[in-house]
Amino acid sequence: MSSTDIIYPVKVPWDSQSVPHVSIEVNQSCNIECDGCYKNKFAFSKPLELIKREIDLAVSLRQLESVVVVGGEPTLYPHLTDVICYIADKGILPTLLTNGTLLTPKRLREYKDAGLYSVRIHIDKHQRRHSDPRRMATTESELNPLRKYYVDMCRNEGVEPAFIFTLYRDNLDDYLDVVEFCYREEIRDILVPLFAPSVNIETEHLAEEPFHALHAENIYEFMARKQGILPAFYLPSQSNSKKLRWLIYYTVVTVDAHGKRETFSFDPRNQTALTVISRMSRIHHSRHNFSRLPEQSEVTRMLGLYARLSCESVDRGKVHAFLETVRRNGNVRFFRQVFQEFPQLSKDGHYDPCLHCPDATVRNGHLVSLCVVDHVEPLPITEKPVCGDSEQMITKIKGERN
């Protein structure tokens, strides 16, 4: 697909200082293996005071709405509750990216009490979950019961659940089953990194076809063909404002008393409407939204604004008809799909990062894109690389679950 075939979405509205999000790493160790991992895994954890200084630096550089705590696997970090509390005390939403293997209701309650807003759980068939009997899935739909397990756990403890799903060439069509699961379980957010050999740490297996890179243009065509929708917003690369890196889809959903679902997706051709909507949170909250998603009343207002500012009478008629359905059903919810293409390695050995990367992390006193940080500014490896389950931690978690 060439750039002339693309109806360009609206570019995300933030500049370098108003980026609303950052990643904070707490460790490098992990207890599972993922084919698409871009982290250099070894037994390293940051001192808590260093993490606090990195959070303070990030706050000074960006107008943060939220901070995601990452690893490695952050639930292996012994001071995770303190990190969550430190972020929340600054009036910033703490979120957690985890493989979920060490989550328990007790731990979630501790994180929730410390201020945790949401948990994003990474599940896909290209993982080897050593302690989980459901780890041998051959399709993504086989993993939906595992996703459901975590949805129920999070909601029981009052924590917003979301998912991360790495997309490869061999699970591309399976993605639609995951979307259907999200609709059915009323999940509001899914993050979809596209597998990229250029950022992978382990490279021995990358000659096989499933491990060829996926690009944002592939997703643009796939989503238009399979779901009939176009991205509302995009994030470009640092060097090329027309290069699609992040594709962000906005869909609103309503369900009638018989379970019939209707959806409406925002169209990038309505540039004025989307530009105004994208700036609403900055106007109301003095910062852009990233992790906080609109609730029902705000979704209804967004739809009304979109209808009033739509440039096409046909589209205006569709959204008014959808609003009437929403009023009749008495419910509406927001669903966001975010696809991320990672940087490719240039011929001269450099990466072209995403513009004002929202997932940047702090390394050596400045911000670096998370997906390439272990390539461009690697930590010194002082201990043997680790993967597989930590027996001490697993024993502790089993005791909590019993």
Q: What is the CATH number of the domain that holds 300?
A: 3.20.20.70
Strand segments (E) across 306-364: 333-341, 360-363
Alpha helix (H) residue ranges in 175-267: 175-184, 216-226
pLDDT at 210 over 80: no
pLDDT given at position 3: 56
Range of the domain at 274: 19-401
Task: State yes or no: cis peptide before 36, omega within 30 of 0.
Answer: no
Distance separating alpha carbons of residues 220 and 200, to the nearest angstrom: 23
Any bridge partners for residue 118, and if so which? 95, 160
The reply to whether 12 falls in a domain is no
Angle at 266 (CA atoms; ends 262, 268), nearest 5 degrees: 150
Residues 307 and 314: beta-carbon distance below 8 Å: no
Nearest-10 Cα torsion for 242, 248, 254, 255:
120
The pLDDT tens digits of the residues spanning 151-171 come to 999 999 999 999 999 999 999
The reply to whether 183 falls in a domain is yes
Q: 52-87 burial, b for 16+ CB within 10 Å, e for fewer?
A: bebbeebbebbbbbbbbbbbbbbbbbebbbebbbbb
The mean predicted confidence, pLDDT, of the chain is 90
Strands 33-34 and 366-369: unpaired
Angle at 41 (CA atoms; ends 39, 43), nearest 5 degrees: 145
The reply to whether 14 falls in a domain is no
Please give the tally of structural domains in the chain.
Answer: 1
The reply to whether 9 falls in a domain is no
Alpha helix (H) residue ranges in 163-294: 175-184, 216-226, 271-285
The pLDDT tens digits of the residues spanning 112-166 come to 999 999 999 999 999 988 766 555 688 999 999 999 999 999 999 999 999 999 9
The reply to whether 205 falls in a domain is yes
The pLDDT tens digits of the residues spanning 2-12 come to 555 899 999 99
* Between 18 and 212, the higher pLDDT residue: 18
pLDDT given at position 390: 47
The reply to whether 333 falls in a domain is yes
The pLDDT tens digits of the residues spanning 265-310 come to 999 999 999 999 988 878 877 899 999 999 999 999 999 999 999 8
The reply to whether 58 falls in a domain is yes
Distance separating alpha carbons of residues 304 and 119, to the nearest angstrom: 30
The reply to whether 8 falls in a domain is no
User: What is the average per-residue pLDDT within 37-46?
Assistant: 90
343 closest CA partner among 201, 236, 209 = 236
358 closest CA partner among 122, 193, 123, 200 = 193
User: What is the average per-residue pLDDT within 190-216?
Assistant: 81
